[in-house]
Structure 1
Amino acid sequence: MQRTLRLLAIVAGLCVTTEAFAQKYPVRPVKIMVGFSAGGPVDVVARIVADRLSNKLGQAFVVENRAGANGMIAAEGVARAEGDGYTMLACNSSTITLNKTLFKDIRYDPEKDFAPLTTVVSAPLVLVVNPENPRTANINTVADLVAAAKAAPGALAYGSGGNGNLAHLAMELLSERAGVKMIHVPYRGGAASEVGILAQEVMAVFDPLSAVPLVKDGKLRALAVSSAERLPALPDVPSVAEAGYPGFDISFWVGFFMPKATPAPTLEMLHREIVAAANDPLLRERLETQGVVSVLSSADYAAKIAKEIKELAEVVAAANIKAE
């Protein structure tokens, strides 16, 4: 009986300690590491969320930019940080899902070293052709594009913002699913690939959301979006999944992570506050300049990451893609 009472007392003490920790946190500033330059999508989202967390939790959440190596410098720093709740990572999907498949010298494990909190925004790609290009004037659907590629194996050229980037892998995944072979023309960035398709240098591009105004102006024709669901800005454009390729879902997302050893109460509280920030009407408008607001449970986020790593690794291996 006495042993049982002692055990109950220990459990009660642990519960009180955990609750007290959750109530106290944070007691000093929290650093949010961003692996990209100021002003980019990850930095913008990180600063919007940081302001909200600072105001709500009464301690400064300070964004620190450590740009370089496609986000790997900042990610490695967070992976090696103490799991005390005072170091956070804000990053994009490439840092987590692409780097592991493209780089052999990556010094962190995206699935083992981090505790995922949630995504905040997701920016799907838009599959576009140029209606003024005689070679694509009659291509109105994904099926039309696939038919054109099958009619001229290895002759249809598509562009992307660089070898191994998300637009490149998205087109390779579509090609693999459709059983076609197209020629990849890598440009120096998404803006350059957009110029390339407008100049009729390539026949198709998975473009970032910057393509939406060009689509609405009739300068580009949207065939599909890469996300599982339709894009609110282009409600009449189907997803690639709807166009005949179920399960196709590739987007450029921005999300938050903590070191794996961070206490569960801290993770739960930060998840709750970041989700609240994303759903705040005043902040939502600012976040939507970077994409579609999208939040996930931590478990769903982890499952999404595992699925994307597996899928993209298969694409990289099948297409023999090498990082630049």
Structure 2
Amino acid sequence: MIKAKTLTLGVAMGLAMGPLASAADYPSEPIKIIVGFSAGSSIDTVARIISENLTKSLGQPVIVENRTGANGMLAATAVAQAEPDGYTVLFSNSSSITVNPTLFKDIQYQPLEDFAPITKVVATPFILVTNPDNERTENVTDVASLIEVARANPGDLSYGSAGIGNLIHIATELLSQKTDVEMTHIPYKGAAPMEVGLLSGEIDLAFDTPSGMPQIEAGKLTPLAVSGPDRWPGLPDTPTMMEAGIEEFDVTFWTGVFMPAGTDPEIVDTFYEAIVAATEDPATRAKLELQGRPVVPTPEQFRAEIEQETATAAETIEAAGIVISQ
């Protein structure tokens, strides 16, 4: 993607005098973090936890600005088109970065072309759950028995999601494709109403978020597996999908950090190191752990993970025939 930028006289003079942003002096002014979701959302919460720490460690105000709309795409587009000087930062999620480019044909950014990936901050798995009071799944105790029921009754079992093309939708389609079973998709307007549908028996299974832990602890939902590469601390006896026999199944929703492409690598490294230090601070880490598992891959590792996740999402979406009208 080619970015259209306008050179003002001031910028032109700055170019004549030297670089717009000096890595040696970074940061020398306030830093703006743009979040594409509303205040109080999980990604907004993570951004504010980190900004509080960075304000102290970097010696400059780190301000969070919410720019909502289009499933995070408005914020991502704004940062993609910002000056690559290290003072405009995007906090985004896996859907906006790895799923949206496949679903939306008129998207105004391409993640690996228009951003310099910095790192993840937290990663959180989904929890595959059923309702033990639902007669269609009352004998389901693990992933294998769920697949057995689904195969015996093609299309009869229904699963929920937080919307068409949502990461929960893609995770369940990936399960269907890997196990060659047919289930019926029931989309909801968010994970909370999806969980209500699961508890009422309106749907039979779902990849829930950890917000469903109280229902699991109360025995109202049965956890079968978690979708990430590691077991969830709150469910030490619940296997991962891969431990349950589903090969190469790793679907997590994460909060990640990006700067515009072309940002000085030294600035990227400075910001990355500051985030790593923040996750190692006991008080900050304790707050982050309420949102997910703190994880900070290097910029190079993060880029490689995005490439892999995007490829998996694209293959799953194409195989499932998921289409969003635009």
Common fold by TM > 0.5: yes
Cα offset for 1:22? Answer: 3.1
1:1-324 alignment runs, 5 A limit:
21-323=22-324
CA–CA distance in 2 between the matches of 1:60 and 1:276? Answer: 17
SS across alignment from 1:210: helix
User: Is contact 1:117-1:267 (8 Å) kept?
Assistant: yes
CA–CA distance in 1 between the matches of 2:43 and 2:211? Answer: 16
Q: What's the CA shift string for 1:265-313, capped at 9, x where partnerless?
A: 1011100000111121101111112112121111111111001110011
Cα offset for 1:86? Answer: 0.9
Cα offset for 1:23? Answer: 3.2
CA–CA distance in 2 between the matches of 1:106 and 1:286? Answer: 33
User: Is contact 1:228-1:247 (8 Å) kept?
Assistant: no
User: Is contact 1:155-1:182 (8 Å) kept?
Assistant: yes
Percent identity at matched positions?
A: 50
CA–CA distance in 2 between the matches of 1:78 and 1:137? Answer: 48
Letter in 2 for 1:192: P
Q: What's the CA shift string for 1:117-149, capped at 9, x where partnerless?
A: 110111110000011111111101111111111
Cα offset for 1:21? Answer: 3.4
Q: Any unmatched runs of 5+ in structure 2?
A: 1-17
TM-score for the superposition, normalised by structure 2: 0.92
User: Is contact 1:31-1:61 (8 Å) kept?
Assistant: yes
Q: What's the CA shift string for 1:18-48, capped at 9, x where partnerless?
A: 9x93331111111111111111111111111
Letter in 1 for 2:92: C
SS across alignment from 2:29: coil
User: Is contact 1:42-1:91 (8 Å) kept?
Assistant: yes
Cα offset for 1:323? Answer: 2.7
Cα offset for 1:260? Answer: 1.1
CA–CA distance in 1 between the matches of 2:189 and 2:83? Answer: 37
CA–CA distance in 1 between the matches of 2:214 and 2:236? Answer: 14
CA–CA distance in 2 between the matches of 1:238 and 1:141? Answer: 9
User: Is contact 1:159-1:193 (8 Å) kept?
Assistant: yes
- RMSD (Å), alpha carbons: 1.4
SS across alignment from 1:112: helix
Letter in 2 for 1:276: A
CA–CA distance in 2 between the matches of 1:51 and 1:159? Answer: 36
Partner of 1:5: none
CA–CA distance in 2 between the matches of 1:57 and 1:272? Answer: 11
CA–CA distance in 1 between the matches of 2:103 and 2:145? Answer: 31
Cα offset for 1:245? Answer: 1.4
- Please tell me whether Structure 1 or Structure 2 has the larger radius of gyration of its CA atoms: 1
User: Is contact 1:129-1:205 (8 Å) kept?
Assistant: yes
Q: What's the CA shift string for 1:203-248, capped at 9, x where partnerless?
A: 1110011111211111100000010111011010001111111221
TM-score for the superposition, normalised by structure 1: 0.92
